[in-house]
Amino acid sequence: MSTCTVAAAAWGAAAGMEIPATSVREHHEPAAQAAQASSAAIAALVDQYAGTLYRVAYSVLRNSADAEDAVQETYLRVLRHRDSLEDIRDARVWLVRIVWNVVLDRKRRAKTRPETDDIADLARLLPAAGLSADDRVGAAQHHEAVLRAVTRLPEKEQRVLILSAFEELSSVEIAKVLGTTESTVRSRLFRARNLLSTLLSHSRSAR
């Protein structure tokens, strides 16, 4: 039995779906079946997209525990809308949009937290396999400079740039996540790239 099926069965039990052996059974059977179906659908969404949602959350929050919390909160919100799951056209974009809003809420609440240490830690955390020791140090310094420059970008450009790094998201899907148009996304991305290169060249010349 797959994880998804087990989880769906467990959810059914947790939801109190034991059907009594009386005439009430006929009345409640369609509801129980619908609840089980929605539980199975959510379990499938967890198995399929939890990783993607975690990466989206991590790219903004840059903290593993916070990102995992954001993913769990996202699925709890999905659970609240379990009756309308059939109406969702593109579940992936819908979920990314939910996790994006969750992440922005958390980011807004934790605005006072200093990010400088996080960025230095994160730059060291990024993969550097296959590089020599010197190259690793250089790569970490470069990553740190880029991440600091990204934090100095205007908020809208920063968001588009972060989402565009996800290869599984097209510009149309980014537009859906951000609630804007594709042309706006493209123009913001163009501006973000120009600003980023300017900021990086300034920091390089300052060194």
Partner 1 sequence: MNHPTPQHPNPSDPSRTGPSQPGLLLPDPELTLRLLAQLPPPDGLADRVHRRLQAAPLPASFWSQWMPMRRLQFAGAAAVVLALGFSSWTIYENRQHATHAPAAAQSPAPQSPAAQPTSGLTPAGAERHPASLKPIKVPPVPKKKPSAAKSRAAKPTPNPPPN
Q: Tell me, residue by residue from 79 to 98, as one string, x for binding to partner 1 by CB under 8 A and - for no binding.
A: xx--x---------------
Alpha carbons 174 and 111: distance in angstroms, whole number: 24
Q: Is 7 in the site for partner 1 (CB under 8 A)?
A: yes
Alpha carbons 48 and 41: distance in angstroms, whole number: 10
Q: Which of residues 174-193 bind partner 1 (CB under 8 A)?
A: 193
Alpha carbons 17 and 14: distance in angstroms, whole number: 8
The sign one gets for the Cα dihedral 103, 104, 106, 107 is positive
Question: Smallest distance from the beta carbon of 20 to partner 1, in angstroms?
Answer: 14
Q: Is 196 in the site for partner 1 (CB under 8 A)?
A: yes
Alpha carbons 15 and 33: distance in angstroms, whole number: 12
Q: Is 28 in the site for partner 1 (CB under 8 A)?
A: yes
How many residues in the shown chain lie near partner 1 by CB under 8 A? 61
19 near 32, Cβ under 8 Å? Answer: yes
45 near 73, Cβ under 8 Å? Answer: no
Residue in 26, 108, 117, 129 binding partner 1, rule: CB under 8 A = 129
Burial grade of 162 (CB within 10 A; 0-12, 13-18, 19 or more):
middle
Please give the residue ranges that form the binding site for partner 1 (CB under 8 A): 3, 7, 10-11, 14-16, 28, 30-31, 34-35, 42-43, 46-47, 50-51, 54-56, 58-59, 64, 68, 71-72, 75-76, 79-80, 83, 122, 125-131, 135, 138-139, 142-143, 146-147, 149-150, 161-162, 164-167, 193-194, 196-197, 200-201
